[in-house]
Chains A and B, each alone.
Chain A
Amino acid sequence: MPDSSSIPGDWRWLDADGLQILIDLLRGRGFRVVGPRIADGAIVIGDIDSAAQLPTGWLDDQDGGSYRLRQDKAAGTFDHVVGPHSLKNFLFPARETLQHWTRDDRGWHDTTPAEPPRPLAVIGVRGCDLAALAIQDRVFLGGDHVDPAYKARRERLFLLAVNCRRAAATCFCHSMGCGPAAGPGFDLALTETDGRFAVETGSEAGAALLAELAARGSPVTPAEILDEAAIEQVRDIPRRLGREMHARRAEPGRPVPRSLDTDGIRDLLFSNLEHPRWQQVADRCLSCANCTLVCPTCFCSSVSDVADLSGDHASRERQWASCFTLEHSQMHGGNARPTVASRYRQWLTHKLAGWIDQFGSSGCTGCGRCITWCPVGIDLTAEVAAIREAPTP
Chain B
Amino acid sequence: MTLPAPLSYPPPESLDPGSPWHARPARIDRVRDESADVRTMVLVFEQARDRRDYRFLPGQFNMLLLPGIGEAAISIASDPEHCSAVAHTVRAVGSVTHALARLEVGDQLFVRGPFGRPWPLEELRERDLIIAAGGVGLASVQAAICHCMTHRGDYGRIAVLHGAKTPADLLCRSDYGRWRDHGIDLHLIVDHAAPGWQGPVGFVPQLLDRLEIVPSETSLICCGPEPMMEAVARRSIAAGIDPDQIFVSIERLMACASGLCGLCQLGPFFICKDGPVLSYDRIGPWLAVPHL
Contacts and interface: CB of A to CB of B under 8 A. Distances in A.
Interface stretch (B13-21, B157-165, B192-200, B241-249): B13-21
B12 A110 contact: yes
A29 interface: no
B268 to A, nearest CB: 4
Given A148-B13, A305-B71, A307-B68, A109 B6 contact: yes
A251 to B, nearest CB: 40
B110 interface: yes
B18 A146 contact: yes
A112 B12 contact: yes
Contacts of B238: none
B62 to A, nearest CB: 15
A147 B3 CA distance: 30
B14 A108 contact: no
A114 B259 contact: no
A325 B263 CA distance: 11
B255 A303 contact: yes
Interface size class of A (residues with CB under 8 A): 35 or more
Contact of A339 (B14, B270, B291): B291
A310 B1 CA distance: 10
Contacts of A338: 291
A311 B68 contact: yes
B94 A357 contact: no
A350 interface: yes
Interface in A329-372: 329-333, 336-339, 341-342, 345-346, 350, 353-354, 357-358
Interface in A146-167: 146-148, 152
Interface stretch (A234-242, A257-265, A294-302): A294-302
B151 to A, nearest CB: 27
B260 A145 contact: yes
A322 to B, nearest CB: 10
B68 A314 contact: yes
B278 to A, nearest CB: 13
Contact of A114 (B11, B94, B261): B11
A204 interface: no
A158 to B, nearest CB: 22
Given A145-B20, A305-B67, A354-B265, A102 B3 contact: yes
A299 B262 contact: yes
A350 B265 contact: yes
Interface in A306-325: 306-307, 310-314, 316, 318, 321, 323
Contacts of A316: 21, 67
A113 B8 CA distance: 9
Given A107-B108, A147-B20, A321 B263 contact: yes
A246 interface: no
Contact of A144 (B19, B68, B93, B259): B259
Contact of B262 (A108, A114, A300, A303): A300
B48 interface: no
Contacts of B46: 107
Contacts of A140: 260
A273 interface: yes
A194 interface: no
Contacts of A350: 265
A31 interface: no
Contacts of B258: 143-145
A114 B10 contact: yes
Contacts of A357: 268
Q: Which of A139, A146, A305, A357 gathers the greatest number of chain B CB atoms within 10 Å?
A: A305
A358 B268 contact: yes
A307 B10 CA distance: 23
B21 A331 contact: no
A102 B19 contact: no
A301 B258 CA distance: 12
A113 to B, nearest CB: 5
B7 interface: yes
A99 interface: yes
B225 A333 contact: yes
Contacts of A109: 6-7
Contacts of B21: 98-99, 148, 316
A240 to B, nearest CB: 38
Contact of A312 (B3, B267, B291): B3
B164 to A, nearest CB: 15
A300 B291 contact: no
Contacts of B1: 310
Interface string A189-201: 0000000000000
Given A109-B7, A301-B256, A330-B253, 10 more contacts: A110-B12, A110-B15, A143-B260, A152-B13, A300-B262, A302-B263, A314-B67, A316-B67, A321-B263, A337-B291
6 contacts: A145-B20, A270-B267, A274-B290, A303-B256, A313-B68, A337-B292
- Identify the 7 closest CB pairs spanning chains A and B, nearest first: A307-B68, A314-B68, A145-B258, A300-B262, A342-B291, A357-B268, A112-B12
Interface of A: 98-99, 101-104, 107-114, 139-140, 143-148, 152, 270, 273-274, 299-307, 310-314, 316, 318, 321, 323, 328-333, 336-339, 341-342, 345-346, 350, 353-354, 357-358
